[in-house]
Structure 1
Amino acid sequence: MGDAGVIGGLTFAEGRPGAFLRPYVTEFTAYTERYEEPLARRQPPFAGMVVIFGFGEPLGLSGPGGRERLASFTAGLHDTYVDTTTAGVAEGLQVNLTPLGARRLFGMPMGELANRVVPLEDALGPWAGAAVERLAEATGRSARLALLDALLTRRIQAAPAPDPRIVRAWERLSATRGRVPIAALAGELGWSHRHLAARFRDQIGMTPKSVARVLRFEHAVARLRAGRPPADTAAACGYYDQAHMNRDFRAMAGVTPRGLVAPWPECPIAVAG
């Protein structure tokens, strides 16, 4: 087990995915949240997908896919924010997946989940309900994290491996934080721009251009949270200027860069970022 801690009403323990899962799972966390009053948060997008195996009070979710109250759910790759409301006692496990990990776990076109939050059983079928029941019965966070690792490993190992060309394209986009030209990326693979976009929608969830925009945004958020000046961040992340970065933040997070970083410190439990 990795880090553990308490932040306000949140108690959590972070797990370290096993060797097989590391290319597909960026983190997983066992948590309990307990609040006297409902807590509202805005979760900005990030370049991955979230799965929540929940046992307690359902979480209120509001985003482009509509409004839901769900205990166990998945949030597909987003290019905009999701607002959440936690009330009472919420308990469960959160898994952050790379898009390629999500494609193997869900075994469905990722475009069907893009900018949506859906009940976990809608995306994973009966396996989801059985997994939630087993995880809820496990005693303690360490046991739950170990069981989660085993459940995910078995399911992902049984799924087809991703297209190696999409793996290569995803790795190039990630390594450059979205700055590699999409035409150059298609040329490297010997594909047309249209074919690359179609393959990305299937295996990643969005077109390469949309994914690059999320990666650029994620990079900018990380720099701003590290205290880097907005103007320097805009230049380093490939925005035309600071005004361009401000427009992107308003579209993707609903606020300015300063507004995103100041009131919402980074937290291990996040639906879309």
Structure 2
Amino acid sequence: MSELGPVMVEAAPSAALRPYVTRLTAYHERYGEPVTRAEAAMPGAVLILGFGSAMEVDGERLTSFAGGLADRFTVTRTAEPTEGVQVFLTPFGARRLYGVPMRHVTNTVLPVEDVLGPWARAAVARLAETPSWPERLALADRLLTERILAAPELGPEVPWAWARLLRTGGDLGVSSLAGSLGWSHRHLVARFHDQIGLTPKAAARVIRFGRAAHRLRTGGAIAQVAAECGFYDQAHMNREFRALGGTTPGQILPRPGSSGGAH
């Protein structure tokens, strides 16, 4: 491909993979000069099965890499053409795929083989040999489904608590979650560290930031969004956007044709 910029083809995961993967994207990026980005914290984990040139992630050159959830933004720099498949994992998809407590990969990006071993080498090789992007995405879906479903199942309690946090946009007290499950605060935090990697409070913070960014992109006014999303005031929202997104609310521009609406 000779055109400059990012070229992406997206696919929804198959039904079996849907609880664990929210999006699959085949991509190719090529720019006339290096591009540096602040990648915002999000309520999920990212897996890159890449081939071609490496990119810089928090200063380290990586081609294929895996990470957990984060409560800070990550800086990436793309200077040479990159290509591969990007996988957006739910916390529970990452927990079953990686096979390690999620606290070990929080705020961390590692070479994919350090996390997934020989499986990663074989997966990347097979994807690189597949020329058609739709076939590449279908292959990624099959490989991920096989590995995730072969891993031990997780109990329903933390996924239930996570769904509650998502539904409320992070506006739910930790004591309320613990009480609903009949758990102590300490036990809830320990289970979140294992299956999500963040504490319930930190997870709610990331979810609230994502909800606020979405509202701004769909035309919400800053003051209104701050109030709706549970920030103390605009100064509080500004600090959170800098910490979690490397940006400010005023730099989040509405998408063309967007209109305000509930997240």
TM-score calculated relative to the size of structure 1: 0.90
Aligned to 2:5: 9
Cα 1:265–1:76, aligned 2, differ >3 Å: closer, same or farther?
farther
2:143 paired with 1:154? no
Aligned to 2:48: 52
Aligned structure 1 segments of 4 or more residues deviating by more than 6 angstroms: none
Pick aligned residue for 2:137 from 145, 150, 154: 145
RMSD (Å), alpha carbons: 1.6
Aligned to 1:30: 26
Query: What SS is found at the alignment partner of 2:33?
Result: strand
Per-residue deviation, residues 214-263 of structure 1 (Å, max 9, x unmatched): 0000000101111100111011111111111112112222332113x14x
Per-residue deviation, residues 146-173 of structure 1 (Å, max 9, x unmatched): 1001000100110111121111111111
Q: How far apart, in 2, do the equivalents of 1:249 and 1:10 lie? A: 25
Pick aligned residue for 1:222 from 189, 214, 225: 214
* AA matched with 1:231: A
* AA matched with 1:126: P
Aligned to 1:270: none
Query: What SS is found at the alignment partner of 1:179?
Result: coil
Cα deviation, residue 265, structure 1: 7.8
Matches within 5 A, 1:86-165: 86-165=78-157
Matches within 5 A, 1:144-223: 144-223=136-215
Q: How far apart, in 1, do the equivalents of 2:36 and 2:9 lie? A: 22
* AA matched with 1:12: M
Q: How far apart, in 2, do the equivalents of 1:126 and 1:242 lie? A: 48
**Identical columns (%):** 54
Aligned to 2:14: 18
Gaps of 5+ in 2: 257-263
Query: What SS is found at the alignment partner of 2:84?
Result: strand
How many residues are paired up? 254
Aligned to 1:78: 70
Aligned to 1:68: 60
Aligned to 1:3: none
* AA matched with 1:47: P
Gaps of 5+ in 1: 1-6, 267-273
Per-residue deviation, residues 6-59 of structure 1 (Å, max 9, x unmatched): x95111110121001111111010011111211111111110000000001101
* AA matched with 2:200: P
